Amino acid sequence: MTFSPLGLTPLIGVFDMPKSLAFYRDLIGFEVVSASPEVETREGRFSHWMWLRFGAVDLMLNTQYDSNERPERPPNKEDQGYACFYIGCADVDVAYEQLTRRGLKADPPTMARYGLKLFSVRDPDGYTLVFQEVR
């Protein structure tokens, strides 16, 4: 038997889990596959870890701070490194229409200089999501 990967599921650190969950679930359309038990903290009630899925795309969110240890303000984006997530779409215009109807703020799709049609947004933690037409 040969090793054959079945997929990739990035785990990203988030500052405010309820805000990130609202972005990914309510605006983008991800569903919660699994989550750690909810905890009650001075920051609110939430799970520290979540596994999300939207179509064939999986993503895990994990809080950057333990309960009651989160600072008032998020860290500088420059201190977090860089991550960009490309999400393939059969029709990027349809994706844009549906997502903006849900309330997502994004510029309309454009043609990238390398020939693919796409649009991008930033999540509450500054990660870039690029919705790219795949044909």
Q: Mind listing the pLDDT tens digit for each residue in 66-119?
A: 888 888 888 776 655 678 899 999 999 999 999 999 999 999 999 999 899 999
Q: Give phi and psi for 55, each to the nearest 5.
A: 65, -125
Q: Which CATH superfamily is domain 1-67 in?
A: 2,3-Dihydroxybiphenyl 1,2-Dioxygenase, domain 1 (3.10.180.10)
Domain with CATH 3.10.180.10 in the chain: 1-67, 82-135
Q: Give phi and psi for 7, each to the nearest 5.
A: 165, 180
**Bridge partners, residue 11, by sequence:** 60
Q: Tokens 């309960």, residue?
A: 67
DSSP H/E element including 19: helix 17-21
83: tokens are 């991550």
Q: Which CATH superfamily is domain 82-135 in?
A: 2,3-Dihydroxybiphenyl 1,2-Dioxygenase, domain 1 (3.10.180.10)
| Residue 8 pLDDT | 87
Mean per-residue pLDDT, 116-133 = 93
Q: Please give the distance of CA 73 from its chain centroid, rounded to a whole number.
A: 20
User: Pairing relation of β-strands 11-14 and 57-63?
Assistant: parallel
Q: Give phi and psi for 21, each to the nearest 5.
A: -65, -40
